């Protein structure tokens, strides 16, 4: 089963567009083992999500032990739930090929985030894994996104729109998606109009202040799907005590319910 089919199947099964970012931050997480923390979060929320999204930075920051934790976390996630490796990789051809192999063949992610700044040859090695999802950074959720992504191209539109157009052109295998932050709702609306059938990974809800209603209304496709609403800190750190898993479930359940209310479509 390819990434898109897997995503749509579990979205329908769990009646959800919610993705949880598994980003263990030792400075704010409860005083528990990182692997224990991840497993508890997954066990408490796996019937509420359409995907999990570990950000590799948090595991790499723990050194070699962190990569072992990441591998064990991936194995613990139910096999029907897609896992998005949030790595934001990019490099020249040979290096990009090695990055793609690491994410897809070694770690076994169902999808990965990719930076398009180096152009097509840096993205092509990821796209060539035709059963895997490739989420190209388009309009990111951070404030500094404006430094480059708002610059107008010679064609008369901003760079992020150019990225969306290129991604649509490159999508010969139907496995490309785009990352568009909920913190920029009008840009999200434009990207969805440009790429009506692509999956959109939408971070920025919760701690970053993105509006959930706009993220859903502007992010879903014509069938009310293919919008992956990613939430991390708001769910993971709902409690700093031993009840963290139940607290995470409570918040995740609330957000899923809100998403479905804004979605206003049946499953």
Helix (H) or strand (E) holding 4: helix 3-14
Q: Which residue's structure tokens are 């496995």?
A: 175
Q: pTM of the predicted model, to two decimals?
A: 0.96
pLDDT in tens, 9-63: 999 999 999 999 999 999 999 999 999 999 999 999 999 999 999 999 999 999 9
Note the Cα 201 to chain centre separation in Å: 5
Helix-helix angle 120-127:159-170, to 10 degrees? 40
State the pLDDT confidence band at 267, using cuts at 50, 70 and 90.
confident
* DSSP H or E segment with residue 227: strand 227-231
Hey, what's the torsion of the CAs at 62, 68, 69, 71, to 10 degrees? 130
Distance from C-alpha of 13 to C-alpha of 36, rounded to nearest angstrom? 26
Q: Which residues contact 87 (CB under 8 A, 6 or more apart)?
A: 56, 99, 103, 112, 113, 114
We report the CATH number of the domain holding residue 29 as: 3.20.20.70
112 — phi, psi (to 5°)? -150, 155
* Beta bridge partner(s), residue 243: none
3-state secondary structure of 185: helix
The tally of domains found in the chain comes to 1
pLDDT tens sequence across 187-197: 999 999 999 99
3-class DSSP state of 84 = strand
Query: Which positions are annotated as active-site residues?
Result: 88
Judge contact between 16 and 48, C-beta under 8 A.
yes
Q: Domain of residue 210: give its range.
A: 3-263
């Amino acid at each position: 089963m390819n990434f898109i089919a897997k995503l749509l199947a579990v979205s329908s099964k769990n009646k959800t567009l919610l993705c949880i970012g598994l980003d263990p931050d030792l400075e704010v997480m409860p005083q528990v083992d990182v692997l224990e923390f991840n497993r508890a979060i997954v066990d408490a929320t796996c019937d509420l999500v359409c995907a999990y999204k570990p950000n590799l930075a948090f595991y790499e920051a723990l050194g070699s032990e962190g990569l072992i934790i990441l591998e064990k976390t991936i194995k613990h996630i139910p096999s029907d739930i897609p896992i998005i490796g949030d790595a934001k990789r990019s490099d020249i051809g040979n290096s990009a090929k090695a990055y793609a192999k690491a994410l897809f063949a070694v770690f076994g992610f169902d999808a990965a985030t990719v930076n398009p700044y180096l152009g097509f040859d840096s993205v092509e090695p990821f796209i060539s894994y035709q059963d895997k999802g490739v989420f190209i950074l388009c309009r990111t959720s951070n404030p500094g996104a404006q430094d480059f992504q708002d610059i107008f191209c010679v064609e008369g539109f901003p760079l992020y729109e150019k990225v969306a157009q290129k991604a649509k052109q490159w999508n010969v295998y139907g496995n490309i998606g785009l990352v568009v932050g909920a913190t920029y709702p009008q840009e999200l609306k434009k990207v969805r109009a440009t790429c009506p059938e692509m999956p959109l990974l939408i971070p920025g809800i919760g701690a970053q202040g993105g509006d959930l209603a706009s993220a859903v209304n502007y992010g879903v496709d014509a069938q009310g799907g293919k919008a992956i609403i990613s939430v991390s800190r708001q769910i993971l750190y709902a409690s700093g005590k031993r009840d963290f898993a139940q607290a995470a479930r409570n918040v995740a359940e609330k957000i899923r319910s809100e998403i479905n209310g804004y979605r206003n479509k049946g499953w």
